[in-house]
């Protein structure tokens, strides 16, 4: 038994930790590990300038669209270099589809074209990573990430056309004629797809929300200028705090590596702790980046107007819910919330066969189809389905006892933490070899229990 369990800790360390000592400073670590952060910080001054000039009336509606579009093009060239064409080509093609196709087919054509283009880029990444064993150019990685975000915005917008929430421009063109009006009418769509605050990070903003915000900017009270700044500084503080915490967690992993230099032996507690603390490091990285991306959108006023969002703000992160929930299904709905809502709208609500599994398979496709991602997302779908069944039975069994209720919530919280940690590490490590190492860990018991629950218990009929 010890023969296949002893390599777990050292195997995960080889997958997770770079060569060399963990003695880099905070800023250098950000430059090496998250270079996109630097480009996002560079967009702060133009975002402030845009909002200030807009609310004092120095930018017309057309000028506002051009400002955001030009900023996006400049940001793409600086951050992606020649790989910026990977984002610009599908943007132009999407606008061509919008102006030339009927509402009933524009969404399907755009979705298929966008996903095929994105998949080709991902396959090229696979070829370089797994076959050629080459280090991928960071600018290509940034372009690929931006392309994934573009897919969200484009398909969300074309689905609005398909469902009749937005009038398709093709009809407007037939009524008003072609010519110079095409360029003018296409400006909002190009601006929405490439506006610089969201080019490198979320959250997903609908086209309707974007357009209404742009049209109402000059009507904003000048006293509200402090509002986006307040939101920006608050989220920047959270960004730096979470990053410092992430550095501490990463150092803990380094200490665990150094303590395992002796003879290998099976240590279940260390096995589980390593996977959980590694997932914590990844979660902190996501939380911090989500806060930074949201703050940039807030700087241009997006997400702060209750009239356009229906709530105080729009956000990808709810740390309290993610860290305290005892339901894997709730974790799935809350993790990267705007993307989860996009996946639900794109796949779950429209799928007639196995909508839950279809949603997670599509998510694996959208993320890039790395072996670890395929394994992780399929396992996530299975555990979410099992999670529904577990709570369906346990809610009724523990209803009469407060002690059993508390015990049930504590145990299911621990199970949720370990299962989601296992899945997150599998998805983030990506490669087949690292997924195989993960499968040999004792932590595999946690998702396996839910798989057995799904197989061994019948679905309890819901009460009407």
Cβ–Cβ under 8 Å, residues 240 and 77: no
Q: Name every residue whose Cβ is closer than 8 Å to that of residue 446 and which is 6 or more positions away in sequence.
A: 415, 418, 419, 422
- Residues marked as catalytic: 336, 367
Q: What is the DSSP string of 87-115?
A: HHHHHHHHHHHHHHS-HHHHHHHHHHHHH
Single out the residue of 1, 3, 13, 4 nearest to residue 270, CA to CA: 13
In our burial notation (b when 16+ CB lie closer than 10 A, e otherwise), range 220-249 reads beeeebebbeebbeebbebbeebbeebbeb
Cβ–Cβ under 8 Å, residues 104 and 164: no
Judged by phi (left if over 0) then psi (alpha if -120 to 50, else beta), residue 318 lies in beta
d(CA 429, CA 16): 7
Could you give the C-alpha distances from 388 to 227, 260, 417, 460, in angstroms and in order?
41, 39, 16, 10
| Cis peptide bond N-terminal to 206, omega within 30 | no
| CA atoms within 13 A of residue 445's CA, in its CB half-sphere | 7
Single out the residue of 132, 14, 11 nearest to residue 436, CA to CA: 11
């Amino acid at each position: 038994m010890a023969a296949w369990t002893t390599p777990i800790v050292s195997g995960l360390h080889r997958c997770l930790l770079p060569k060399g000592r963990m003695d880099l400073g905070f800023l250098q670590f950000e430059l090496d590990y998250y270079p996109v952060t630097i480009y996002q910080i560079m967009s702060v001054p133009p975002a402030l300038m845009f909002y200030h000039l807009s609310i004092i009336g120095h930018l017309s509606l057309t000028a506002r669209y051009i400002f955001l579009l030009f900023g996006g093009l400049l940001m793409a060239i600086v951050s992606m270099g020649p790989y910026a064409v990977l984002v610009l080509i599908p943007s132009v093609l999407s606008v061509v589809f919008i102006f030339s196709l009927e509402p009933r087919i524009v969404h399907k054509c755009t979705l298929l074209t966008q996903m095929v283009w994105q998949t080709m880029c991902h396959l090229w990444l696979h070829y370089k990573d797994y076959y050629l064993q080459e280090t991928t150019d960071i600018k290509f990685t940034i372009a690929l990430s931006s392309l994934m975000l573009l897919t969200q915005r484009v398909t969300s917008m074309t689905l609005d056309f398909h469902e009749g929430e937005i009038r398709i421009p093709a009809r407007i063109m037939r009524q008003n004629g072609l010519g110079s009006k095409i360029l003018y009418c296409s400006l909002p769509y190009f601006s929405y797809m490439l506006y610089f605050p969201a080019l490198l990070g979320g959250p997903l903003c609908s086209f309707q929300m974007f357009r209404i915000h742009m049209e109402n900017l000059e009507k904003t009270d000048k006293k509200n200028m402090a509002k986006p700044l307040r939101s920006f500084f608050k989220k920047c503080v959270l960004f730096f705090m979470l990053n410092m915490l992430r550095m501490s967690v990463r150092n803990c992993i380094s200490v665990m590596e150094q303590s395992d230099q002796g003879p290998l032996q099976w240590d279940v507690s260390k096995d589980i702790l390593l996977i959980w603390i590694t997932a914590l490091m990844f979660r902190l990285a996501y939380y911090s980046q989500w806060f930074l991306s949201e703050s940039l959108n807030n700087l241009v006023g997006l997400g702060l107007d209750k009239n356009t969002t229906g709530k105080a703000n729009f956000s990808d992160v709810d740390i309290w819910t993610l860290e305290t929930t005892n339901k894997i299904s709730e974790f799935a709905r809350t993790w990267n919330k705007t993307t989860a809502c996009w996946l639900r709208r794109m796949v779950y609500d429209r799928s007639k066969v196995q909508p839950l599994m279809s949603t997670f398979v599509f998510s694996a496709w959208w993320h890039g189809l790395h072996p670890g991602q395929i394994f992780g997302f399929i396992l996530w779908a299975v555990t979410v389905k099992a999670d529904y069944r577990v709570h369906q039975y346990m809610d009724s069994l523990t209803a009469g006892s407060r002690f059993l209720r508390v015990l049930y919530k504590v145990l299911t919280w621990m199970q949720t933490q370990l299962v989601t940690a296992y899945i997150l590490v599998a998805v983030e490590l990506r490669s087949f070899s690292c997924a195989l190492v993960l499968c040999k860990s004792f932590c595999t018991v946690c998702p396996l229990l839910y798989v057995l629950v799904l197989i061994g218990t019948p679905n309890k009929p819901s009460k009407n």
